[in-house]
Structure 1
Amino acid sequence: MVEASARFRQIEADEVAWLGTGPVPAKPYYDPAYFELERSAVFLRSWIQIGHACELPEPGSFIRRELEFANASLLIVRGRDGQLRAFHNVCTHRGTQLVEEAAGRRSTFSCPYHRWTFGSDGALLSAPDFESFGLAKADCALPQVSLDSCGGLLFVNFDSDAQPLREWLGDYAAMLEQMPIAQATTFTEYSYDIAANWKLTYDNFQENYHLRFIHPRSGGAGVGGDNPFGYPASMGFNGPHRTQRIWTNPEPAVKPFQGAAFGRGFRAAAARGLLNLPYGRDYLAFFPNLFVIGTPTQPFSHTVYPIAADRSRGVVRLYWVGEDANASERFAREYALASLRDIHSEDISIIEAGQRGLSSGALSHIHFQSMEALCRHLYLAVDERVTAHAQGVTA
């Protein structure tokens, strides 16, 4: 773990020099050809977060996920045996999608076209006049995609030879399992579409250099005193993943209604034993496109899904343990969501402005300073895989 200096001005340059210090090529942030290589080398070969176990509480529960980078519609189902599985949302007769609903509960899934019917384990149960096909039902099961979970979060991987999820997450798996997200029973979600590359979007949430300029109204708790840029207290790296410990202003300017919301949220977290969890100020960034924060009063995940070289979608979820106990707790949770969304909404236009500038081709390179080391680390992890894939080597 790389610790910040006493005044939080910056981590010493030589402490992160192993990442390099030179300019970074700009083209990977807007070039369609590079994006296509990313799809193949990164997103189709990595564990991608797509939901939470609390969405599938009982046998027959299902959720549908559309993943543009894979041109795939996935059906995630809890089977009668309690196991979670992911299938392509396609009938094995002639490819018709089985499910249009975003979520629900069913004991079977029937194709609307010819009524081929599948069980929650993906097996073909029945099909009209099936004898005419000369097939075995066992050979007509729904095509499956690797699915696993850690800390309640669900991940899929389109690479059949992928290493197990916990190995992929490394030392951060144990940290994730000790965050409030791992205990969550419900969540609040919002999503946004943005005219920007997924890396450019994701990077905005990996560095605090911009806080005092973009969030002067809403980001007061993250900057101030000896830390005018809100730099993290520490950074760490583990394989393609990374982390930082968020610094908190000890004397933030808090309005009375904010203090009331924070106080009620704090008491609710204390009642559920969440204040004693060890990673309350840690930000975990999981390669390629997910980060989570373990604060007990506002635990959330943020996943940035690539759609095109200059377009992506962010999904932000705040996770809660138990339903609202009373109106006071409801107020605290609603404020946690509103404040987070307010901060993120301030970022959108500036990220899109950056994309327009890069897409113009005016710059051959961009620059990262030492306190933007997490951004540089992401670029290097992506480019290593893209380069290896282009050369026909497995990264």
Structure 2
Amino acid sequence: MHGERPGFQGMSDDSLAWLGTAPIPAAPYHDPAWFELEREAVFRRAWLQLGHVCELPDSGSFIRREIEAFNVSLLIVRGRDGEIRAFHNVCTHRGTQLVEEESGRRSTFSCPYHRWSFGTDGALLAAPDFDRFFIDKADCALPRVALDICGGLIFVHLGTPDKGLRDDLGPYATMLDGFPAAQATTFSEYVYEIDANWKLTYDNFQENYHLRFIHPRSGAPAVGEDNPFGYPVKMGFHGPHRTQTIWTNPDPAPKPVQAQSFGRAARFAMTDGTAGPHSRDYLALFPNFFILGSPAQPFSHTVWPIDARRSRGVIRLYWKGEDDCASRRYAREYAMASARDIHAEDRDVIEAGQRGLNSGALKHIHFQAQEALCRHLFTAVDERVQAYRADLAGTAPRPVSRAEAMA
């Protein structure tokens, strides 16, 4: 590794060379035509993280989720049998959306237009004067969407999945089971919109190269004299997914309020049993979700595309148990406040990057070796877009030469 002091041992540039070193095309970060390809090639063909089992504690509990890039509204319900299912939030009579509330509990779901009623398993139960439709109720069930769960987290697939979620995640499924979110019973949430492409937004949170410049105070624990750029200790890759272990500054000199609040959170995590083996691990699941294993700040972040130049982020901190004392409440509130403060420092510079890319002045952007997770995401997206293009053309994708990639 170049420019690092002997006290820090991280990933060598050579160990990451398999990802390539060529400049990356800039158009996929702002071009509407490329975004349309991503919608179908990536987001319709991947497992997407949408919620947590703690949101559906009882039979009839439901949450509604909007996937704006597809104009899709989903109804996720815990049935009488305890199974969690996902359906399109659309009455099979004439398409009226069944639910407007973000969450709640119902024994049935009735269309406000003509009162077709559906059970928590999606079956049509009753419809006024139904015998005049000359169809079977069994053929009018709510359209179902593939759903799977790992580590307490709910994922859906808008297409026909080639493999189940755990098979797709491979060894990262077991890793996710060991994160604090797997035991969570509640959470704090922060939602934001940003004028930036989803990849540009996401990339900001999977590289530490910017920490010393954008977060000179809030990012202090992740940088230090031996590792001034906060590079990770190690990285790992499985298919389109990736992980890194975050370096810890042995002498971070945090502010007293930081030490007090995160120290309390860590102690509660030990008591609650949520302090596992992944306290410094960051897990990025393709395409748009990442989560930290820190018991003091059990943080997840999903970046949803809206269009080629806008995205929406959902930040959550998952907790086990309610706020049963002032100290626990204080630690949790501080953890969320600090997450929002750090994100506020990122927001302007991400949007400034998007404005620069929108100009079309750049044909390529550049990732250095220690921005390997950013390069890996781009490569995973590009591979799926090229395969989708080949499917449309009825041909097999062919290797692209370095000269073509640079053109």
C-alpha contact 1:53 1:154 (8 A) present in aligned 2: yes
Amino acid at match of 1:362: A
Structure 1 residue 74: Cα displacement: 0.2
Deviations 1:50-83 (A, max 9, x none): 0000000010000000001222000000000000
State the SS of the aligned residue for 2:315.
strand
Q: Which moved more, 1:74-83 or 1:219-228?
A: 219-228
Distance 2:79 2:298 in 1: 29
Deviations 1:214-269 (A, max 9, x none): 01121111111201111111111111100000111121122222222122112211
Deviations 1:7-38 (A, max 9, x none): 44863222111100010000000000100000
Distance 1:93 1:357 in 2: 47
Amino acid at match of 1:105: R
Aligned residues: 391
Whether 1:58 and 2:54 are equivalent positions in the alignment is: no
State the SS of the aligned residue for 1:363.
coil
Distance 2:355 2:9 in 1: 30
Partner of 1:238: 238
Distance 1:345 1:106 in 2: 38
Deviations 1:151-176 (A, max 9, x none): 00000001224311101111100000
Partner of 2:315: 316
Whether 1:78 and 2:78 are equivalent positions in the alignment is: yes
Partner of 2:403: none
Q: Which moved more, 1:152-161 or 1:85-94?
A: 152-161
TM-score (norm 2): 0.94
Amino acid at match of 2:385: V
Whether 1:296 and 2:311 are equivalent positions in the alignment is: no
C-alpha contact 1:11 1:370 (8 A) present in aligned 2: no
Q: Which moved more, 1:11-20 or 1:241-250?
A: 11-20
Distance 1:294 1:108 in 2: 37
Partner of 1:175: 175
Whether 1:94 and 2:117 are equivalent positions in the alignment is: no
Distance 1:76 1:39 in 2: 22
Distance 1:246 1:50 in 2: 25
**Relative to structure 1, is the Cα distance of residues 182 and 161 closer, same or farther in structure 2, using a 3 angstrom cutoff?**
closer
Partner of 2:339: 340
Partner of 2:405: none
Amino acid at match of 1:217: R
Q: Structure 2 regions of 5+ residues with no counterpart?
A: 398-407
Deviations 1:326-353 (A, max 9, x none): 1111100100110111101110110000
Distance 1:195 1:10 in 2: 34
C-alpha contact 1:91 1:116 (8 A) present in aligned 2: yes
Map residues 117-128 of structure 1 onto 2, 5 A cutoff: 117-128=117-128
State the SS of the aligned residue for 2:45.
coil
Partner of 2:283: 284
Structure 1 residue 185: Cα displacement: 0.5
* Identity rate, percent: 68
C-alpha contact 1:46 1:162 (8 A) present in aligned 2: no
Structure 1 residue 282: Cα displacement: 0.3
**Relative to structure 1, is the Cα distance of residues 6 and 95 closer, same or farther in structure 2, using a 3 angstrom cutoff?**
farther
**Relative to structure 1, is the Cα distance of residues 36 and 5 closer, same or farther in structure 2, using a 3 angstrom cutoff?**
farther
**Relative to structure 1, is the Cα distance of residues 179 and 229 closer, same or farther in structure 2, using a 3 angstrom cutoff?**
same
Q: Structure 1 regions of 5+ residues with no counterpart?
A: none
**Relative to structure 1, is the Cα distance of residues 137 and 343 closer, same or farther in structure 2, using a 3 angstrom cutoff?**
same
Partner of 1:222: 222
Provide runs of 4+ in structure 1 moved above 3 Å.
Answer: 4-11
Distance 1:115 1:230 in 2: 58
Distance 1:258 1:88 in 2: 44
TM-score (norm 1): 0.97
